Amino acid sequence: MASEAQGAETGGLEFHPMDQFNIESLFGGPIAWYTPTNAALWMGLAILAVIGLMVLTTTKRSVVPSRGQSVAELAYGFVYKMVEDVSGKDGVVYFPYIMTLFMFIVCANFLGLIPMSFTTTSHFAVTVVLAMAVFLTVTVLGFVKNGTKFLGLFWVSSAPLALRPILAIIEVISYFVRPVSHSIRLAGNVMAGHAVIKVFAGFAAIAVVSPIAIAGIVAMYALEILVSFIQAYVFTILTCVYLKDALHPSH
């Protein structure tokens, strides 16, 4: 990239840890809402990854599964059990939606670990849309399923009466903070890890510290593999928890 070339020319240490997050048009030109960008490309690759993982591996429908089919079944069972355990039996209806979120996040996170790739989940635009989709769906669902009883979520009936209004304010604030924390947690974790790897990579230009820098990259990469899965898991399980609140608002 242009800025990296400039860094090489001047010979000094140039850190551009955030350049990897730049949105660029694939074919040049300005970025309009419909322009195919690197974000669009890597989202498309995430779709292909989902197809490869969940569809192509299960074409044989074998009773004794192959390795690939085991992975697909494992993913299915993992999310299904999560929805069932956290949201309850009546939450299972929403399993395909939650599975969609999980599969997209986990595929995008892991694709983002490929060197030179673009991590779509590192962008707030993506995670905010995901989190707001969950937040709005859950809120609407809560009112549709429970009517005004959904407001009981904010009225802690087990607390002393005098404390309840204060708790209600806290509950309301925490409720509206949910989509913020939900989205920033995911994008923040992914972005920070990738940026730190890039910073280590910048230090690798100095011969003396380059072994340490490369060791640091390896360690961060291992951590990022963990983070990729855990953040997808956390996002999904929080979605299940919010769904449970919508279905069963009583404390």
DSSP code at position 35: -
50, 82, 106, 232: which one contacts another protein (CB under 8 A)?
50
Which segment (115-123, 148-156, 172-180, 216-224) binds another protein by CB under 8 A? Answer: 115-123
Helices (H), 120-209: 124-146, 164-203
Which segment (125-133, 151-159, 212-220, 240-248) binds another protein by CB under 8 A? Answer: 125-133
The H-or-E segment that residue 230 falls in is helix 210-247
Q: Which is nearer to another protein, 66 or 174 (CB)?
A: 66
Q: Does 69 bind another protein (CB under 8 A)?
A: yes
> How crowded is residue 198: how many other Cβ atoms within 10 Å of its Cβ?
18
What minimum distance in Å lies between the beta carbon of 197 and another protein? 16
- Angular region, 35: left φ>0, alpha ψ -120 to 50, beta rest: beta
What minimum distance in Å lies between the beta carbon of 103 and another protein? 6
8, 51, 144, 177: which one contacts another protein (CB under 8 A)?
51
Distance CA 91, CA 231 (A): 21
The two three-digit tokens of residue 195, written as one number: 């940026």
Burial status of residue 1 (CB atoms within 10 A of its CB: 0-12, 13-18, 19 or more)? exposed
13, 47, 170, 206: which one contacts another protein (CB under 8 A)?
47
27, 28, 61, 67: which one contacts another protein (CB under 8 A)?
61
Length, in residues, of the chain: 251
The residue written with tokens 């059990």 in the block is 81
Q: Does 46 bind another protein (CB under 8 A)?
A: yes
Instruction: Please name every residue paired with 25 in a beta bridge, in sequence order, or none if there are none.
Output: 37
The site that binds another protein (CB under 8 A) totals a number of residues, namely 53
Q: Does 122 bind another protein (CB under 8 A)?
A: yes
86, 87, 94, 104: which one contacts another protein (CB under 8 A)?
104
Q: Does 27 bind another protein (CB under 8 A)?
A: no
Annotate each residue in 201-230 with x if it binds another protein (CB under 8 A) or - if it does not, as one string.
------------------------------
CB of 87 closer than 8 Å to CB of 236:
no
CA-CA-CA-CA torsion sign (199, 202, 206, 209): positive
Q: Does 33 bind another protein (CB under 8 A)?
A: yes
Coil vs helix vs strand at 37? strand
DSSP string, 91-108: GGGGHHHHHHHHHHHHHH
| Interacting residue ranges for another protein, rule: CB under 8 A | 2-3, 5-6, 18, 21-23, 31-35, 37, 39-40, 43-44, 46-47, 50-51, 54-55, 58, 61-63, 65, 69, 72-73, 76-77, 95-97, 99-101, 103-104, 120, 122-126, 129-130, 133, 187, 191
